[in-house]
Amino acid sequence: MKIHRLIPALIVFAAFCNTTAQTQHITYNTEFSTNVGSGGYAPFWLITNKDGIPDMQPNSAYLRAGIFQKSDTVKRFSYQYGVDLVKTTHTSAILFPEQFYVNLQYHHVALHIGSQIRNDGLQNRLLSSCGGGTLWSGNARPLPEVAFVIPDFITVFHRMPWLKAKAEISYGWLVDNGYQLQPAHTQNEFVSVNGFLHRKMVALQFKGKSPWSFTALGEVDVEFGGNQITYANGQIVSNFHNAADLKHFLMVMIPFKGDKSAPGVDQAWFYGNYVGDWQGRLTYDMGNKGQLHAYLDNYFEDSSGLWKLNGLDGLWGIEYDAVGKKLISGVVVEYYQSTNQSGPIMFRPADYNYKTNLKYWTYGDDNYYNHSFYIGWSNYGRAIGSPIVTSPIYNQDGNLTFEDNRVRAYHIGLMGYLSNDWSDRLLATYREGFGTMSTPFINPQQGFSGMLEVNYTPHQLKGFSVSAAAAFDRGALTGNNWGCNLTLKQNGILDWFRKTEK
């Protein structure tokens, strides 16, 4: 739907919905943000884990506005909707919809339709290096989906009140065709367009009367269908169509080998590009002193990573979460590694035409976030997974794959309150990149990124906040960049169409 049709349609829908709802308000969010600095890019922490909105350029700005209605938790049947429109200085579109969705919920089960920012990861989105997780971090723009969801933890068995679960299954679309087909990406590389996405997620929470609790989350996603277009000197040399009819939509629910219409790699292995992660988070509740957390987020490409044959790869972290507004209200310390990838070699005798006496497989070279048919786990050039792995948008050669997916990183995040109205946040990350298994860097590349942010939320001006940040990068990974950010926000309630209650 075009933007000029979308806006009035949403306003009419919002007006209708709000006249029928007596317990829910329509809220609005407005935001203006600008980056000023120097270098090849804006500093890493001014543009990372912000849902793909800020431009990469050191000098840029964006304007954002949205209206939302949340579910009415009092009623058994409820709905929510939202539209979130953005204009940035370096995009040609008049506006682009960051979010546009309608959710219908009956009791504990919901149907989500549209593009909506996800917040179901186990990490601290404000302080963690990976935002929500190593599979979905909050670094890239959300994708449009149709999802059946149990959005909140519910009791599984009444006799086991300490065990709760939530789950999700969805189908979606890969929508960055326009970005991929830009001239910079269609010279001597390949693109993958018109694809689909299927996701399955389940989370379990073990929490009883003890101060100890544990949460586990597992998710498996698959990209499938679409076209791979290969270029040489700016000319198309091949255009392979990977079929995606009803049969294929069912095939991705449980992994099957591809049929004759699929690429060769899918015929040898499974149809589509499978990625996933499992997360574990152990919590100790200290009462009014806060909570301590320890967690592991393990990303995987296949069964070797699933069964943790990838060594220490993953996001390892500890977190302290205070109660109330303290001078130090949150601390996150993390170690991230993606260097093992289950070993350097992937070998299966059946993959080769020549005869061999070798009878055993060798698992390895998982090549995180990359695939031979799809460009990789990214959207509009931004990593969907961990942003610690340098996103393709940084590539100087127009390549849309991840050229540096073997990384070690050390990260710390701090936040606190100077008063009821003033808060601050500090992020600092050291990274070391080694390239990929097949194309390693001759010399490892290092980089350090830091940011200090101060937020002012005056209690006299309800819904208004202003934040200022200074950040810098040093090293070869993203270059030497520095910059400052200023962000103004105003949130509130819209009562334009609300009935006056008697």
Domain 24-493 has CATH 3.30.300.180: no
53 touches 86 (CB < 8 A): yes
Q: Which residues pair with 251 in a beta bridge?
A: none
**Tokens at 443, concatenated:** 């010399």
pTM value?
Answer: 0.91
Which DSSP state fits 358? Answer: -
The three-point CA angle 325-326-328 to 5° equals: 130
* In the chain, where the domains are located: 24-493
Q: If DSSP states are collapsed to H, E and C, what string results for 285-319?
A: ECHHHCEEEEEEEEEECCHHHHCCCCCCCEEEEEE
Q: Which residues pair with 35 in a beta bridge?
A: 60, 485
Cα gap 340→160, rounded to integer Å: 39
Cα gap 380→176, rounded to integer Å: 6
Q: Strand ranges (DSSP E) for 225-364?
A: 226-232, 235-242, 273-285, 291-300, 314-321, 330-337
Cα gap 338→387, rounded to integer Å: 12
Name the residue type at position 22: Q
What contacts 293, CB < 8 A, 6 or more positions away? 281, 282, 283, 284, 317, 318, 319, 320, 321
458 touches 428 (CB < 8 A): no
> 């200090």: which residue's tokens?
452
Question: Residue 493 burial by CB count (10 A; 0-12/13-18/19+): exposed, middle or buried?
Answer: exposed
Question: Residue 136 burial by CB count (10 A; 0-12/13-18/19+): exposed, middle or buried?
Answer: buried
Instruction: Measure CA 438 to chain center.
Output: 26
**CA separation (Å) from 470 to 116, 297, 431?**
29, 29, 19
- DSSP secondary structure of 382-404: EESS-TTSPPGGG-SS---S-S-
125 touches 49 (CB < 8 A): yes
Question: Residue 353 burial by CB count (10 A; 0-12/13-18/19+): exposed, middle or buried?
Answer: exposed
* Tens-binned pLDDT, residue by residue, of the chain (502 aa): 444 454 455 555 555 555 554 456 899 999 999 999 999 999 999 999 999 999 999 999 999 999 999 877 677 899 999 999 999 998 877 889 999 999 999 989 999 999 999 888 899 999 999 988 999 999 999 999 999 999 999 999 989 999 999 999 999 999 999 999 999 898 888 999 999 999 999 999 999 999 999 999 999 999 999 999 999 999 999 999 998 999 999 999 988 888 888 888 888 788 999 999 999 999 999 999 999 999 999 999 998 999 999 999 999 999 999 999 999 999 999 999 999 999 887 766 666 555 666 666 677 889 999 999 999 899 999 999 999 999 999 999 989 999 999 999 999 999 999 999 999 999 999 999 999 999 999 999 999 999 999 999 999 999 999 999 999 999 999 999 999 999 999 999 987 655 544 4
Cα gap 340→366, rounded to integer Å: 9
What contacts 119, CB < 8 A, 6 or more positions away? 125, 132, 138
The three-point CA angle 62-66-68 to 5° equals: 155
